[in-house]
Structure 1
Amino acid sequence: MSSQNALDYFVQDDDSAGDLRGKLVDSIQRCLERRDAAYQTRWNRVWASALCQKYRRPESEDYWLWARAFFDAPIFDLQAIAALVQ
């Protein structure tokens, strides 16, 4: 699965945590899309995070796009990113 649609709708489940992984990915994306007073603060934390940088597509220097690895990330990493963007 390499298309964006596949990444948006299907997640890795080889560790039996696919449901939780999908919920975390969705929660992170929805939180970052929310245009409220904390919008820029959340994005500043994402850009400054070494953990988040690990999951960013490197070919885009001025726009954030999650790499495939983000959609397959360990639950622990996704939980840390979810806490970061809250």
Structure 2
Amino acid sequence: MYPDAPKSQFGSPPRPPEVNAYRRPSDVKAVTNWLKVLLLLEVTNTSILNSILDKIETVDEIDHAIGTLTKQIRTVVENSSKVVSVADNLQKLPEDI
């Protein structure tokens, strides 16, 4: 089928990824202001981060710290992003093209 394809441990080459011909690209996309993210993370609400222990010793404490940091970063990124129409973001070609 594919002569140069690597063989898997089961002897047959891996199948190529399936392509869905009916899937359309999204009409909207998120645009993030990364400078705003940086500035907001620098002045982040310390009361949220104060819930993270100074000395982390258990798996539960690791999970809590990761969850708190992830939630804070996700919130900052969401607050620094906006959803825009893809059509509004397309560059127009010159008339002579």
TM-score relative to the length of structure 2: 0.26
Higher share in helix: 1
Structure showing greater radius of gyration is: 2
Could you tell me the TM-score, scaled by structure 1's length? 0.28
